[in-house]
Amino acid sequence: MALIRYLLYFLGIGLLTWMLTALEISSPGSLKLQLYMSAADTLGTSEYSPVEIIQPGILIICGLLYAWVAANCPTQRPIAFVFGGLALIFAIRELDYFLDRFVADNFWQFLIGIISALVITYSYRQRRRFRIAWLRMWPSPGITLLFAGATIIFAFGLLVGHEPLWMAILGDDYQRLVKLAVEEFIELSGYFLWMIGTIEYTYQAKAIAFREPEAAAAKRRRRRLPRSEGRF
């Protein structure tokens, strides 16, 4: 079953990435990675790009999965609430351009502040249950993939997509479009990993929640196993 899931992950990501690249190759400019909104706009925006639109879509899927875990797997509710809050924060951050333009300037920062405060307050009040839930889950492929995705999005992507880096590499041939393309595709790869991690976490949380109770002897025998062995 796990092998089939990972094969589907590979095929799904490969197909979607191929569609995006084929679209741009067949019709240059179709990805809209640098769209000028007015004559005074000198930088352009990539917010209308299919690459950018897919990212909040991935985060919405992740948020729905965390909501399912919170509703159906009580022992994992603290982790699901925190990760779901993070997915919502990331989605709002990805939609900052539209919130600034169509709602109010810096409105996205206000929303992120409120959600962050709720997540921090909840995690502090439920810190004991969060620790218990974490120990039941860790180590696991889902958490590992979530960490890998977050590392790509918030460390690797930010550094490699830094504009001065591309100015230094390209010199007089610098074009902002190149920087935007690299940055957005790196972020998309990180969100792909985040989504796979979320799916795996959901699968593992379900397995823990619906596992049949162990006999006392079996439970004692399992506890004697080396702690370095993961449950999944």
**pLDDT value, residue 14:** 95
The reported pLDDT for the residue numbered 151 is: 93
Residue pair 78/213 in contact by the 8 Å Cβ criterion: no
- Nearest residue to 198 via CA among 36, 106, 90: 90
139 cis-preceded (ω within 30 degrees of 0): yes
| Predicted pLDDT of residue 217 | 47
CA distance 84 to 59: 9
* Strands (E) located in the chain: none
Mean pLDDT by 10 residues, the chain (232 residues): 89 95 92 84 83 93 94 91 92 89 88 94 91 87 91 90 90 89 93 95 87 52 57 52
Q: What is the DSSP letter of 155?
A: I
What is the number of other CB atoms lying within 10 angstroms of the CB of residue 71? Answer: 10
Residue 219: the pLDDT is: 54
